[in-house]
Structure 1
């Protein structure tokens, strides 16, 4: 059983997430991993996502994996109803998830049937490989990957966020041009989500 709610931006689709849970999200706990943007000064979208979750009655606690021990990472993820991974640089995110052991903890969370919410980089990182996202994110942010861009592999397709949306419109088109013949790209705008429940996949829009 898999329960995935994958977005470019979570906040515009918060009401749809509530419907996805059958209105059962109030009182749940969420472990929010803001690591993808932790090395950046611009935190606007991370804050917006956090507020949207809180507005649904979800108790949100941050887990910055670069500052937590592997034991804390494992425990915090395991004890949460939801794991939420927000946007930023996907390569940096992957690097730090691997270093902290959060990558496997997230996979275990998903395999246990618990809900995962992704926003932008947090959605992309579940793909089999993230090399294609280099048109949007710089690989320079993650030198410790040494060119190994294998994602968490939870998905059997490659999620492409921000299609048709500023400032990534041109980058998304370039990815579609360069990778659509190689990868099964599933593209979403900032007002769409790919929702996976068990083996059923659908796209919701606002």
Structure 2
């Protein structure tokens, strides 16, 4: 799977170009499924914000980019639908667009639904994450970002990539560089702090920062 891990969606031409490169064809020729599930786990989100994400009624460009087709993949529904129905939907999509919200809630339902197990076989599919939709692909999110607590506890996520992400750097009062440094010390592994004009493009396990803004890499090396 190819990844475009963003803080605030496809927010500038550089990130859009990275997306087109990952797709290997124009956005207008690409079929998308959006995943709003993370919205339901975060106290600042809910049905209204999920609708705004799906319909592109937000300042965070994802679903409104001009896709050939756009569908909704709600992970909480998948266990009751059955894999014979939903797996073909996912395999036919060129890109999965994961909303922000609560990364732990999203991680839980990716595992419960079976989507997490399917990901390694999606060699040509692009995953575009927005905030929590990006953080879910990392090994850990850090205690500062845990709102919804999974049954197993902790802050571990899918570990598809080997680094963690601190999103919205400088965008919110609490998301300062000093806060990111404290967070990175807790993570104790490679970690990026990225602002809303930055994304991390991952191809064949290699990460590349795409930015028209500000970011910082915190290394675990002494």
TM range, normalised to the smaller chain?
0.7 to 0.9
Q: Structure 1 residue 25: deviation in Å?
A: 2.0
Deviations 1:102-133 (A, max 9, x none): 11223332xx1321111111111111233x1x
TM-score scaled by structure 1?
0.81
Residue-pair matches, total: 196
Question: What is the alpha-carbon distance in structure 1 between the residues aligned to residue 140 and residue 114 of structure 2?
Answer: 18
The residue that corresponds to 1:32 in the other structure is 34
User: Which residue of structure 2 lines up, in the alignment, with residue 113 of structure 1?
Assistant: 124
- CA-based RMSD of the aligned residues comes to 2.6
Residue 167 (structure 1) shift: 4.9
> For the structure 1 residues 148 and 107, does the alpha-carbon distance in structure 2 shift closer, same or farther, using more than 3 Å as the test?
farther
Return the offset for 1:200: 3.9
> Residues 138-195 of structure 1, C-alpha deviation per residue, up to 9 Å, x if partnerless?
1xx2442x2154322210111221111115415x743531433612111211111111
Choose the corresponding residue for 1:64, options 71, 74, 82: 74
Specify whether residues 3 and 143 from structure 1 end up closer, same or farther in structure 2 by C-alpha distance, changes over 3 A only: closer
Residues 77, 169 of structure 1: alpha-carbon distance in 2 compared, 3 angstrom cutoff: same
Distance 1:53 1:17 in 2: 15
Q: Which runs of 5+ in 2 are unaligned?
A: 213-222
TM-score by length of 2: 0.76
Find the partner of 2:199 among 157, 180, 193: 193
Q: What SS is found at the alignment partner of 2:8?
A: coil
Query: SS where residue 54 of structure 1 aligns?
Result: coil
Alignment of 1:1-206 (within 5 A): 2-13=1-12, 15-20=13-18, 21-22=20-21, 24-39=26-41, 40-41=45-46, 43=49, 46=53, 47=56, 48=58, 52-68=62-78, 69-71=81-83, 72-109=85-122, 112-130=123-141, 132=142, 134-138=143-147, 141-144=148-151, 146-170=152-176, 173-180=178-185, 182-206=188-212
Residues 58 and 166 of structure 1, relative CA distance in 2, 3 Å threshold: farther
Query: Which ranges of structure 1 fall in alignment gaps of 5 or more residues?
Result: none
Q: Secondary structure at the match of 1:99?
A: helix
State the distance in 1 between where 2:67 and 2:15 align. Answer: 12
